[in-house]
Amino acid sequence: MRWRVAISAMLVTVTVMAGQAMAEDRHIVLASTTSTENSGLLGAILPLFRAESGVEVRVVAVGTGQALRLARNGDADVLLVHHRPSEEAFVADGFGVERHEVMYNDFVLIGPRDDPAEIAGLDDASGALARIAEAGAVFTSRSDNSGTHLAERALWDAAGVVLDGASRDWYREMGSGMGATLNAAVAMDAYVLADRATWVSFANKRDHTVLVEGDPALFNQYAVILVSPDRHPHVRAEDGQAFIDWLLSNEGQAAIAAFRVDGQPLFFPNAGGQS
Amino acid sequence: MQSPPVNPTLSVSPKRVEPRCVEPKCVEPKCVEPKCVEPKCVETESLMSDFVQAFGLALHLVASFDPELVDIVGRSLYVSLSAVAIASFIGLPLGAVVAVYRFPGRRAVVVLLNALMGLPPVFVGLMVYLMLSRSGPLGPLGLLFTPTAMIIAQAILITPIIAALAREIVRGLYDEYREQLCSFGARPRQMVLTLLWDARVGLSTAVMAGFGRAMAEVGAVLIVGGNIAYATRVMTTAIALETSKGNLALALALGLILVVIALGVNAVAAMLGGASTRRYA
């Protein structure tokens, strides 16, 4: 008898807690890349949206691959990611309503200042990677299916470098986020591909610096997608769409442009494109 | 708005962390000229400064009652203490029952409990995620990315720890008092209750072990909580986040505060334990 009472008491507690979780004020879950969160962009612009709409945006910052996975399962309302082919597949498969381009920045190739592979100043990113491979200089890779990782793999393909057993000596698959990979690259004197926003706001640069930048292949487009309420009826579509509309509006775009770290803009609004 | 450097979270971080960016400049010439004989000492030097900075930062954060820190510490305690309460509620009686009752497969249960003490947190996190995901069986509850989900994951992690340790402790006491209890004609159920009460000092160690594991755990709460600022961020996930931002001093400071909290909770438990053992002396 006592057990039954105890168990039902526990069930009641759980239900009450669940009820509280649901009764909280208006919020949406945004699955985003680590770059937008760790650079401080979302921390700077989300309060503006909240002040206007009363909607709190809860950010789950993970790699693009994991963000898409969360959204496919219906565990996020809105996606903010940066890998066009995966995004288009997400929408084509019926999980997303529509893909809207929001802003861009670029990837940069970072390495130790003494630059053993001598890539500094090259304007061709895949050429630089080819040199790193040739020199057998240590390169740390995200290897986590994030947007940055997928972009990096595309650059290796373009460079004609095959990453196989023989590359294990110098190609280190970190399997972790951008920040952890940067920490590792700094500690290992390794080269690494990173998005500029995370790099500029990264506080543990030590002796590492940007070596290659400006190649059009390093372009990095961010897009926002509402998770389809047809596929996942619980999606907070109205508030989610309001957030997307705000991001694409003049006001949201201006907020993105106004965000700076050390006086340097990290994201450049370019709403308008969609697919 | 103009320059919210790095993150507007934990308001002290930008100011305090910046000096490190300045440092390499003055260190550079040393390291460039003699073709890098001293990079090691340069590194230890700045790592040491991380430590010094961390202590300063930790003191500053605590002294200034940084609102985000208070929020994070409060949530850590709420989540872990709730998990410990649930796990104790299940684990203590479970351990005592396994210690006292005889039933087929008891050894297997003991082995299982001991093995489950080593459950990897990320694995538990993933399982709980799959259960609570909107596409999972408990999806409609909408518990994913809430503190409740974190409590569930931690409770699953530490219930076997508390149960296995409780079994060990109760078993010892049972061996000692079995004859006496039998001579009173006590039934197994009464024995369980009596032994649980008499072993309370030892059992508090089991509970503290569970609490320690819960507070220190990061893998599971990261997956099911999502490390959402002001919603599911706790000490350990905040430390992981600051590390990934390269704010090593701030991460270290948060770690120090976590250690102090763990010390404090354990000290309280030890004092309570000490007070009640004196009775036996």
Report domain extents, chain B.
70-237
- pLDDT, position B43: 47
Selected residue of A5, A11, A17 to mutate for chain B interface (largest B Cβ count, 10 A):
A17
Instruction: Give the gap in angstroms from C-alpha A160 to the nearest C-alpha of chain B.
Output: 31
Report the C-alpha gap between A88 and B201 in whole angstroms. Answer: 60
Average pLDDT over residues A172-201: 92
With beta carbons less than 8 A apart as the criterion, state whether A253 and A269 touch. yes
Report the C-alpha gap between A246 and A52 in whole angstroms. Answer: 9
Selected residue of A56, A206, A232 to mutate for chain B interface (largest B Cβ count, 10 A):
A206
A123 in the same domain as A88:
no
What is the CATH architecture assignment of B70-237?
Orthogonal Bundle (1.10)
Average pLDDT over residues A51-55: 94
pLDDT in tens, A211-270: 999 999 999 999 999 999 999 999 999 999 999 999 999 999 999 999 999 889 999 999
Kindly state whether residue A75 falls inside one of the protein's structural domains: yes
pLDDT averaged over 10-residue windows placed end to end, chain B, 281 residues: 42 41 40 40 58 82 84 94 96 94 92 93 95 92 94 97 95 91 87 91 90 93 92 94 87 90 85 64 42
Binary contact (A38, B228; C-beta < 8 A): no
A229 in the same domain as A93:
yes
A235 in the same domain as A100:
yes
- pLDDT, position B72: 92
> How many CB pairs (< 8 A) connect A and B?
114
Burial of A6-33, coded b for 16+ CB within 10 Å and e otherwise, reads eeeeeeeebeebbeebeeeeebbbbbbb
Phi, psi of A137 (to 5 degrees): -75, 145
Number of domains chain A is built from: 2
Instruction: Give the gap in angstroms from C-alpha B209 to the nearest C-alpha of chain A.
Output: 23
Looking at A201, A218, A235, the residue that finishes a domain is A218
A119 in the same domain as A100:
no
Report the C-alpha gap between B165 and B98 in whole angstroms. Answer: 11
Give the residue on A whose Cα is nearest the Cα of B141. Answer: A18
Residue B148 is nearest to which of A18, A61, A232, comparing CB atoms? A18
Three-state DSSP state, A221: strand
Q: Show the tokens assigned to A167.
A: 């590359």
- pLDDT, position B272: 74
- DSSP letters, B188-234, are HHHHHHHHHHHTHHHHHHHHHHHHHHHHH--HHHHHHHTT-TTTT--
What confidence category does residue A16 fall into, taking pLDDT thresholds of 50, 70 and 90? low
Binary contact (B20, A114; C-beta < 8 A): no
- pLDDT, position B185: 86
- pLDDT, position B47: 63
A75 in the same domain as A197:
no
Kindly state whether residue A274 falls inside one of the protein's structural domains: no
Identify residues of A whose CB sits under 8 angstroms from chain B CBs.
6, 10, 14, 17-18, 21-22, 29, 34, 38, 40, 43-44, 58-61, 73-75, 114, 177-180, 182-183, 201-207, 232, 234, 258-263
Where does residue A48 fall: left (phi above 0), alpha (psi -120 to 50 degrees), or beta otherwise? alpha
Q: Show the tokens assigned to A192.
A: 């690494």
A93 in the same domain as A141:
no
**Beta strand A264-265 with A268-269: parallel, antiparallel or unpaired?**
unpaired
A26 in the same domain as A97:
yes
Please report, for the domain that includes residue A195, its CATH number: 3.40.190.10
Query: Hey, how many other C-beta atoms are within 10 angstroms of the C-beta on A43?
Result: 19
- Residue A48 structural domain: 2-105+219-269
Looking at A176, A194, A218, the residue that finishes a domain is A218
Computed over every residue of chain A, the mean pLDDT equals 89
Report the C-alpha gap between A174 and A164 in whole angstroms. Answer: 15
Residue A43 is nearest to which of B7, B141, B247, comparing CB atoms? B7
**A162 contact partners, CB below 8 Å, separation of at least 6:** none
- pLDDT, position B266: 84
pLDDT in tens, A125-173: 999 999 999 999 999 999 888 999 999 999 999 999 988 877 888 999 9
In chain B, what residues touch A38 (CB-CB under 8 Å)?
Answer: 7, 241, 244-245
Report the C-alpha gap between A185 and A209 in whole angstroms. Answer: 11
Query: Residue A61 pairs with which residues in a beta bridge?
Result: A32
A117 in the same domain as A93:
no
Report the C-alpha gap between B258 and B204 in whole angstroms. Answer: 20
Kindly state whether residue A260 falls inside one of the protein's structural domains: yes
A3: pLDDT strictly greater than 90: no
Binary contact (A202, B246; C-beta < 8 A): yes
Identify residues of B whose CB sits under 8 angstroms from chain A CBs.
1-9, 17, 20-21, 24, 31, 36, 39, 43, 46, 86, 89, 133-136, 139-146, 148, 226-229, 231, 241, 243-248
Kindly state whether residue A200 falls inside one of the protein's structural domains: yes
- pLDDT, position A111: 96
Q: Show the tokens assigned to A56.
A: 């709190």
Residue corresponding to tokens 């907020």? A255
Binary contact (A40, B4; C-beta < 8 A): yes
A251 in the same domain as A196:
no
Number of residues written out for chain B: 281
Report the C-alpha gap between A259 and A39 in whole angstroms. Answer: 10
Give me the percent of chain A exceeding a pLDDT of 70: 90
Residue corresponding to tokens 């820190």? B69
In chain A, what residues touch B138 (CB-CB under 8 Å)?
Answer: none
Residue A261 is nearest to which of B6, B227, B228, comparing CB atoms? B6
- pLDDT, position A94: 95
Kindly state whether residue A275 falls inside one of the protein's structural domains: no
- pLDDT, position A9: 62
Give the residue on A whose Cα is nearest the Cα of B46. Answer: A206
On whether ipTM exceeds 0.85, the answer is no
Task: Report which of A104, A161, A154, A99 is spatially closest to residue A130, judged by C-alpha positions.
Answer: A161
Instruction: Give the gap in angstroms from C-alpha B274 to the nearest C-alpha of chain A.
Output: 30
- pLDDT, position B15: 40
